[in-house]
Amino acid sequence: MRELVAERRRGAVDDTLVLVEHPPVVTVGVQGDDGSAGRSGLPVVEVERGGHATYHGPGQLVGYPIVDLAARGHDVRRFVHDLQSLLVRSLEPLGLAAAPVPGQPGVWVDGRRKIASIGIAVDHWISFHGFALNVDPDLAAFSRFRPCGLDPAVMTSVARELGRPVPVSELRGPVVDAWRELFEGTRAPVDPASAAARSRTAPA
């Protein structure tokens, strides 16, 4: 991920979306956590993104948008809004309605159940880290700490909302389509296999 950030800063690559799944891990953003992450029994990694602690694992689609925000008006709020819109649009083809909740980063179903998290970082106006969409992860993992400082019961997934198993591959296409709609002029996302190797040591 850091390599892509440096390449984007040099203009060696276009804006790029990296899509991966991670092994089970709790990441803690710059706002820290209440100490529950360390008691979760899961590996814990401190990262540069905004936000508190969250879980990543199989069944969750994690997106790292490497985007030049200088070319987008130096507007971080607009960028976060665009990521929220990307997630909302990605869920629409499955008949699942979701929306942001004021004051709560991420995307929610019925304003009560959190289906996706957002936490970004910016270095010299190049974004990194990004979003985590709960497709069909082990939601019990969230109950082992306080994700984003919230009651773990608020966390949901596409599979839970639809009442059926949902492979991550079912969401990759809609996410890519939404990315292309919202980030015009970007190239296709990096191949997930190569992206996983690049980002293995720096989960969002």
Output the pLDDT for position 112: 96
In this predicted structure, the answer to whether residue 195 has a pLDDT above a threshold of 80 is: no
Report pLDDT for 190.
46
Q: In the structure encoding, which two tokens stand for residue 189, read together?
A: 């996302």
pLDDT at 193: 40
Domain containing residue 72: 2-199
Query: For residue 151, is it within any domain?
Result: yes
What is the pLDDT at residue 105? Answer: 82
Inside any domain, residue 73: yes
**Token pair listed for 115:** 């289906």
pLDDT higher than 50, residue 186: no
Residues assigned a catalytic role:
148
Report the side by side order of strands in the sheet with 53-56: 44-46, 25-28, 53-56
Q: What is the pLDDT of residues 151-164, one digit of tens each?
A: 999 999 999 999 99
Q: Which residue has the higher pLDDT, 204 or 81?
A: 81
First to last CA, the chain: 10
Domain membership flag for residue 81: yes
- 133 pLDDT higher than 70: yes
Structural domains counted in the chain: 1
Kindly state whether residue 188 falls inside one of the protein's structural domains.
yes
Task: Grade residue 21 by pLDDT with cuts at 50, 70 and 90.
Answer: very high
pLDDT digits (tens, 9 = 90+) for 166-181: 999 999 999 999 999 9
Q: What is the CATH number of the domain that holds 6?
A: 3.30.930.10
Average pLDDT over residues 82-87: 97
What is the DSSP annotation of 122-141?
Answer: EETTEEEEEEEEESS--GGG
Quick check: 129 and 204 in contact, CB under 8 A? yes
Asked whether residue 77 is domain-assigned, the answer is yes
Contact between 53 and 26 under an 8 Å Cβ cutoff? The reply is: yes
Query: What confidence score (pLDDT) does residue 198 get?
Result: 33
Note the pTM of the prediction, 2 decimals: 0.88
What are the beta bridge partners of residue 92? Answer: none
204 in any annotated domain? no
Sheet holding 104-109, edge to edge: 16-20, 60-66, 126-134, 113-123, 104-109, 99-101
For 101-105, 107-111, 177-181, which range has the lowest pLDDT when averaged over its residues?
A: 101-105
